[in-house]
Structure 1
Amino acid sequence: MKKRRKTPLCLNCGQRLERHHEFCSNCGQENTDSNLPLGMILYDFFSNTLAFDSRLFHSIVPFFFKPGYLSAMYRQGKRAAYVNPFRLYLVISVFFFFFLSLLLTKDYGDQAVINIDVDPKEMSEAQKDSVVQLTANEFRKGLEALDSANAKQQFVALPEGKKLVDYADTTEVEDGFLGISGEAYSKYKKYRKVDSISDEALLDTMKLEKPFLRKATRQLRKIQNKDSEVFLSYVLKNIPLMMFLLIPLFAFLLKILYFRQRETLYIGHLIHAIHLHSFSYLIYGALSCFLYFNNSFNDEQKGWAFTIFFMVASFYSLFSFHRFYEQGWGKTIFKFLLLGFLYMFCILTFFVGELFISFLLF
């Protein structure tokens, strides 16, 4: 319950108030004093948001070690003793998406750094392949060095005997690809970085007539001419909303898979879905936080860490299914695997849609 620091007089109209008055009987203003020290304001915020009382301590153990227990208690109507699942999801999702965005942008920036003063003869094959990939994707606007006579000296981390230009235009586009001819795409690559050429002039030069292709080409030019991290950040900021919209769909899939359990209404499946997502977000948020502050892990070690955390989240969800729906292990495992397949398909579909919308609106 929200805490109020009540006053004997209404701060708005001066009406005398009693201790039990939640609102002023004269003007209707809330009977609370908001003129407080910063420390007290922060305490009230976290107390109201996280419910720093007995509910939090009653919820910690079952949330971590009794999968499905909190959802079952909510279905039985025993809700006052435990943290509100929507509050729990809100706080954990903020933690997860914050560190996930930091980690992804950090990894992207680390990959974009081109090594300097490295003898190509001393590079491993993996390093050479990495450099080829980086230059092909124009990380750190590396292709701008093509205009310089010292391009080879500025980007010496290249396989011996190769030049940066060898990787600048490796993409070949055949006539008719998405309605764009190879000649039109060559003109796009040639003129897209020339600021004096407007989008409309470039599109007319490419002879693009279809409205969608003109829109897509304008957006592609805007993205490629900016720092790619800007577009990545734009995409990442929309993912929390996408995942939030997916939770009701996840609950709907649960409702279909367990349609015979008529005593469990849709809201019960939704609460169960929220608890499952909250735990997964907490696990992956902790992993993202650890990897963000730990620079000693290579890609293989990061892959193993993700696999371990993925298995933890998966087994937690499996045991939660078994406890909450009270079915045998055979049915539980089958429905769990089926749901996992369907949900991954939904996530990929939503992500492609989110990426497409972000591309058009960027």
Structure 2
Amino acid sequence: MGHHKLREDKTCLNCGNEVHDRFCSYCGQENTETRHSFHYLFRHFLEDFVHYDGSFWKTVKTLLFKPGKLTNEYLKGKRASYVAPVKLYIFLLFIAVFVPGVISFFENQPPNEFIETSENESELAREINNSGVTYGLKDFKDVKSVAQLDSLQRVKPEGERLNRLEYKMIKKIVELKKNGTDKEFQEKAYDMISRNFSKVLFIYLPIFAFWLWLFHGKKRWYYFDHGIFTLHYFSFLLISNTIVAIFGFLLGLLGDNDFVDLTTMMFVLICGFYTFFYFFRAHSKVYGENKWISRLKGFCLFIINMFCILIVMTIYLIIILFNVH
């Protein structure tokens, strides 16, 4: 950091001794200005990884294309050549949260403006009832406005009404769909899942490590070891999710057509398949068990974690949905 401005005061802020050069001869602290702009802080944060820490790109390359190697190297004590697991995960988590926000900003989607209806609510309810629409969780897509939803909720018998949770959920979905087509709503839902995926991973991280601990020998492996494997695998998932988001955004610049939709779908499928393969490969490389035993454990772990993370994701998205205005 030799290009930062030196302080005029020669008293070390850390130990109080006199500083004769750029660095204090007693404690080693650099005698530079302590107050900086946000631009400096942001640049300094990136430089710590990309420029001054030359191991960052080596770590990312190894993480993406050599499943399990980072974990093995770290557990063997070879740690100076790569970014530490926690440091790597925190940085990639920042990127995974930052990038979707930037993408949403540039997409410049129109705001949700709910259109008031002037029709009589009882007439709306009667019209929907006469059309033969069955009111329930599976058929709420036929309700076009909150007014219709409220009307149906009032005219239906007590036993056929939605409970409080069902009503709030359907109301939020109707509001989100108000100004768009089903396809636009699906895109919004996918965007919501994509933007919150990294946050759900962070919540689920200790649970994933717990399942690994449960499936492997307690004498040979510590929970710490499983935590390192989890940090590296989740770092890979964060990079993958970010790459998919960027790729989808760039393709979206070409317009809304079948080619873009097909290419995006194919890319997502390829990334999904590689993620599936990556877990089994990394699991086999790190735990070094018999091939079939490793595959069986890996398959069980994959299914269990997929089920659990879907539950966590669903709960998290419901909470988010109820807080969207």
Structure-1-length-normalised TM-score:
0.61
Q: Which residue of 1 aligns with 2:248?
A: 291
Q: Which residue of 2 aligns with 1:301?
A: 263
Q: Which residue of 1 aligns with 2:283?
A: 321
Q: Percent identity?
A: 20
Which range is displaced more, 32-41 or 268-277? 32-41
The answer on whether the counterparts of 2:89 and 2:235 sit within 8 Å (CA) in structure 1 is yes
Q: Deviations over 1:123-155 (max 9, x none)?
A: xxxxxxxxxxxxxxxx987996999xxxxxxxx
1:341 aligned residue (293, 303, 309): 303
For residue 343 of structure 1, report the CA deviation from its aligned partner: 1.0
Which range is displaced more, 292-301 or 216-225? 216-225
How has the CA–CA distance of structure 1 residues 105 and 207 changed in structure 2, closer, same or farther, with 3 Å as cutoff? farther
Q: Which residue of 2 aligns with 1:91?
A: 91
Q: Which residue of 1 aligns with 2:124?
A: none
AA in 2 matched with 1:92: L
How has the CA–CA distance of structure 1 residues 31 and 59 changed in structure 2, closer, same or farther, with 3 Å as cutoff? same
TM alignment of 1:1-362, pairs within 5 A: 7=7, 8-9=9-10, 16-18=17-19, 19-20=24-25, 32-36=32-36, 41-49=41-49, 52-99=52-99, 171-173=133-135, 192-193=146-147, 213-214=163-164, 217=167, 220-221=170-171, 224-225=174-175, 238-258=196-216, 260=217, 262-295=219-252, 297-362=259-324
How has the CA–CA distance of structure 1 residues 332 and 85 changed in structure 2, closer, same or farther, with 3 Å as cutoff? same
Q: Deviations over 1:23-60 (max 9, x none)?
A: 99xxxxx9652345777544422123557324325424
Which range is displaced more, 351-360 or 283-292? 351-360
AA in 2 matched with 1:269: H
The answer on whether the counterparts of 2:198 and 2:238 sit within 8 Å (CA) in structure 1 is no
How has the CA–CA distance of structure 1 residues 103 and 5 changed in structure 2, closer, same or farther, with 3 Å as cutoff? closer
Structure 2 gaps of 5+ residues are 121-126, 179-184
Larger Rg: 1
SS of aligned partner of 2:163: helix
Structure-2-length-normalised TM-score:
0.67
AA in 1 matched with 2:204: L
Aligned residues: 292
Question: Which whole-Å CA distance do the structure 1 matches of 2:11 and 2:153 have between them?
Answer: 65
The answer on whether the counterparts of 1:99 and 1:292 sit within 8 Å (CA) in structure 2 is no
Question: Which whole-Å CA distance do the structure 2 matches of 1:331 and 1:204 have between them?
Answer: 58
Which range is displaced more, 278-287 or 51-60? 51-60
The answer on whether the counterparts of 2:146 and 2:171 sit within 8 Å (CA) in structure 1 is yes
AA in 2 matched with 1:287: V
How has the CA–CA distance of structure 1 residues 202 and 90 changed in structure 2, closer, same or farther, with 3 Å as cutoff? same
Q: Which residue of 2 aligns with 1:162?
A: none
